[in-house]
Amino acid sequence: HEHTFVNYVTVLGKVQDQALLDHVFDHFKPTVVFHAAAYKHVPMVERNPWEAVVNNVLATRGLIDTSVRHEVERFILVSTDKAVRPTNVMGASKRLTEKIMQAYGGHNTRFMAVRFGNVLGSSGSVIPLFRRQIELGGPVTVTHPEMTRYFMSIEEAAQLILQAAAMGTGGEIFVLEMGSPVKIVQMARDLIRLCGKEPDTEIEITFVGLRPGEKLYEELITVGEGIVPTDHEKIMVLRAPAAAMQDLEEPLTRLTRLARDHDGQGIKALLQEMVPEYTPQAAAAIFPAARVRQTVAPQGLS
């Protein structure tokens, strides 16, 4: 649904600009911050890991510090299911931001994160890509016949983020009920039919192999995270021990230096140290020996 907002101001800038953040916070004095800025394109971030450090990690830390200095009441970090046992730099960077956020639990600002999967129709999501490929006559490219993802609508994601923000007392990582994971190839088939075409006969589906850092399946919780229901049927909360900020300071300083030097291998090694559950994929596991062009047999609508 579209709403007409009157009392708002748009500021063009980037979250890495500390002077701009201070200017905006000084002028507008926000009481709640929703932090959704991040580089989320997995293969691109995998090839440019220093950008994930600068934008996803260090800029988030700067925004957290700004929120504390300006006495923001609530800070909500929008996270991702890719932070769970990450196999890519993007997911590891988001898991690290969750840990940093929780380490600020001793301040007056209430910090919390909301972790969920893919949002249908958002920038870079699979539906607009499939639509363009169908309009061009195909093929529709799917990574792997067994790949699944969690999805929700933009409206549902926004409503649940707001609800979790109101519920949080500080330090929580909220997990949104995403329903059952969806097979991407079945989504492609359904969309082809919705566009008035038949898969395999009129529009071909091809499998192109996993891209750098991609997983076949996503998860919403990881080992050691205790999940607790809330009063909202679609929101659960994870309880896990928070890291101490003093234990993160020295490795964050090293991470900053590695990003400045554009040392991709060093960044990945240090992220493994800071996020022990991060297991980078080997290059051989990412790229098949040859790109597979395969047509799948017709199936019914789900």
How far is the CA of 173 from the CAs of 37, 48, 81, 239, 240, in angstroms? 17, 27, 11, 7, 9
Query: Domain residues of the chain, as ranges?
Result: 18-117+152-176+219-286
How far is 53 from 62, CA to CA, in rounded Å? 12
Q: How does pLDDT run across 136-169, given as a tens digit for each residue?
A: 998 999 988 888 887 888 888 888 889 888 999 9
List, in sequence order, every residue forming a beta bridge with 174; answer none if it has no partner.
114, 237
pTM of the shown model: 0.80
How far is 94 from 49, CA to CA, in rounded Å? 12
Q: How does pLDDT run across 99-137, given as a tens digit for each residue?
A: 999 999 889 999 999 987 777 767 667 888 898 999 999
**Residues with catalytic annotation?**
82
Query: Taking all residues of the chain, what is their mean pLDDT, rounded to a whole number?
Result: 85
For domain 18-117+152-176+219-286, give the CATH number. Answer: 3.40.50.720
Closest CA to 34 of 125, 175, 162: 162
